[in-house]
Amino acid sequence: MADQSFNAFAMAQRQFDRVAEMLGLDEAARALLRNPDREFHFNIPVRMDDGSVTVFRGFRVQHNDARGPCKGGIRFHPQETVDTVRALATWMTWKCAVVNIPLGGGKGGVICDPHHLSMREQEGICRGWVRQVGRAIGPVQDVPAPDVMTTGQHMLWMMDEYEKMNGGHFPGMITGKPLGQGGSEGRTEATGYGVVYTLREALLRKSIDIATTTASVQGFGNVAQFAIEAYTNLGGNVVCVSSWDQGDQCSYTFKRDSGVDLDELRSMTDRFGGIDKTKATAAGYEVLDGGAWIAQDVDILMPCALENQVNAETVLKVSERVKFMAEGANGPTTPEADEVLAAKSVFVIPDFLCNAGGVTCSYFEQVQCNMNYFWPKDEVLERLDSIMTKAFHAVTDLAEQHGVIMRDAAYMIAIQRVAEACRLRGLV
Ligand code: GLU
């Protein structure tokens, strides 16, 4: 996000335009789907711990709800922009459609840096966010969830504020809640696990034994950690992870050829996924610059951090050995980089398919909240695996059939589903 010239929404529109053209989508559907349905921009005044008031800027963008209530996370990030939120909301529409769950797309954000905010101040932001946009969200309108630097605790404060506004219990108004408070087993793991379910299937299709592969992961937040866990459980070896260093305001790559140890790294990590350099060095990790994760001689790359990380410049560092890329992040790869990866025959599992496990489990969470009956973890993960596996093969079959890249095939399925819903409703 440091690159000011990068605009995630312009990229999302470019990806959409390309496939809308391939599909011969009519003009009205294009006009409807290339911009969000509606958006909210607002102030959130918060009384800080020192007694002063800080006014934060908040957003909620509702891209499309033709297939069901808008759905998507809320990010807390110092460099958040409305265009980033627009892009992420748009990608949520395609994400829910490609895995065929009855939800639309939305996203929220607040420009803030939780590294410098107490929990009480963060609670103030959460409650203020809901007070500003509470009438436009809800179980049948728009359902938020966690994303970058937000957790189950943030969701619970938001739910509590919403319930105060509306007088009742509405656990289906938000997902990613803690267990026992309307949360679902497996929700925390779901995005990272889902990344690996699709990767496992990609390797199977190419008859590669996952236990013979190595991977390099960008990021060490929630998605990355559970992707590492699932991949390692299947016998894969992660040799590299990168993480943001708050003190130095840059990221570093932590490398160990024998493989990273997830629990060991977790024990030296702050709550935002920042790994302690000194402790990591003592444990035998080589500390490299933040961009080194992409240049590793591995079979698989997993960008699990932010957007615009695999771009025209960084893609040139991708080793000849890399044959798969599983996008745990939203929007990590630019269209220019896609072309280079296609020329190198890298099998890219595109973001809104690869990382759809989170929202799929959020959908399960809503279903369980509606029934007020909660499933055991095994059942949640089994259902998740089945939806992810089915969606992955549908996209891969279409990509092979039409000779297009995986991202275009995923867009073809998603756009057709959403356009059809808009047509059936008489919107276009
Ligand atoms: N923030 C996650 C995503 O980007 C999950 C969204 C949700 O569960 O609604 O997919």
Residue 4: what pLDDT? 67
What is the reported pLDDT for 5? 83
| pLDDT for res 1 | 44
Residue 216: its H or E element: strand 214-218
Q: Which of 425, 411, 426 is nearest to 25 (CA)?
A: 411
**Structure token digits, residue 2:** 């440091």
**Which atom, in ligand 1's list, is nearest to the CA of 175?**
8
Q: For residues 245 and 269, give the distance between their C-alpha atoms in angstroms, rounded to a whole number.
A: 10
Pair of tokens at residue 23: 């599909």
pLDDT on residue 372: 96
CB 214 within 8 A of CB 236: yes
- Alpha carbon nearest to ligand 1 atom 6, residue: 72
Over residues 402-419, the mean pLDDT reads: 98
- pLDDT at 3 > cutoff 90: no
The CA distance from 356 to 280, in Å, is 31
Alpha-carbon distance values, 127 to 155, 182, 275 (Å): 10, 18, 30
Residue 271 — very low, low, confident or very high, per pLDDT cuts 50/70/90?
A: confident
- Give yes or no for residue 73 CB within 6 A of ligand 1: yes
Tokens found for residue 38: 């509606």
| Per-residue pLDDT reduced to its tens digit, 232-262 | 999 999 999 999 999 999 999 999 999 999 9
Residue 392's region, left for phi above 0, alpha for psi from -120 to 50, else beta, is: alpha
For the entire predicted model, the pTM comes to 0.97
Q: Which atom of ligand 1 is nearest to the CA of 147?
A: 1
Give mean pLDDT, residues 25-47: 98
| 28-37 mean pLDDT | 98
| pLDDT at residue 259, as a whole number | 97
In the chain, where the domains are located? 40-175, 188-354
DSSP lists the bridge partners of residue 45 as 55
How much of the chain is in helix, strand and coil states, percent to nearest 5? 50, 20, 35
Average pLDDT on 166-192 reads 97
Decide if pLDDT at 2 tops 60.
no
Please tell me the distance between residue 322's alpha carbon and the centre of ligand 1 in angstroms.
28
Question: Does the structure show a pLDDT above 70 at 285?
Answer: yes
Mean pLDDT for all residues in the chain: 97
Query: Closest ligand 1 atom to the C-alpha of 330?
Result: 4
Q: Is the CB of 90 under 6 A from ligand 1?
A: no
pLDDT of 195 reads 98
Is the minimum distance from the CB of 236 to ligand 1 under 6 angstroms?
A: no
Rounded to the nearest 5 degrees, what angle is found at the Cα of 361, between the Cα atoms of 300 and 267?
A: 60
The catalytic residue positions are 107
Tell me what the mean pLDDT of segment 132-138 comes to.
97
How is domain 40-175 classified at the architecture level of CATH? 3-Layer(aba) Sandwich (3.40)
Question: Above pLDDT 90, what percent of the chain?
Answer: 98
Complete DSSP assignment for 300-358: EEEE-S-SS-B-TTGGGG--TT--EEE--SSS-B-HHHHHHHHHTT-EEE-HHHHTTHH
pLDDT tens per residue across span 197-236: 999 999 999 999 999 999 999 999 999 999 999 999 999 9
- Residue 105: pLDDT band with limits 50, 70, 90: very high
How far is the C-alpha of 78 from the C-alpha of 114, rounded, in Å? Answer: 8
Helix (H) or strand (E) holding 259: none
pLDDT tops 70 at residue 389:
yes
Backbone angles phi, psi at 142, to 5 degrees: -165, 125
Q: 188-354 has which fold?
A: Rossmann fold (3.40.50)
Q: Is residue 89 within 8 Å of 76, Cβ to Cβ?
A: no
Give the residue-averaged pLDDT of 310-339. 98
**Of all residues in the chain, what percent carry a pLDDT higher than 70?**
99
Do the two domains 40-175 and 188-354 of this chain adopt the same fold? yes
Evaluate: CB of 147 within 6 angstroms of ligand 1. yes
> What is the phi/psi pair of residue 107, to 5°?
-160, 150
Does any ligand 1 atom lie closer than 6 A to the CB of residue 106? no
- Over residues 120-138, mean pLDDT: 98
SS3 label, residue 138:
strand
Closest CA to 396 of 378, 418, 412, 374: 412
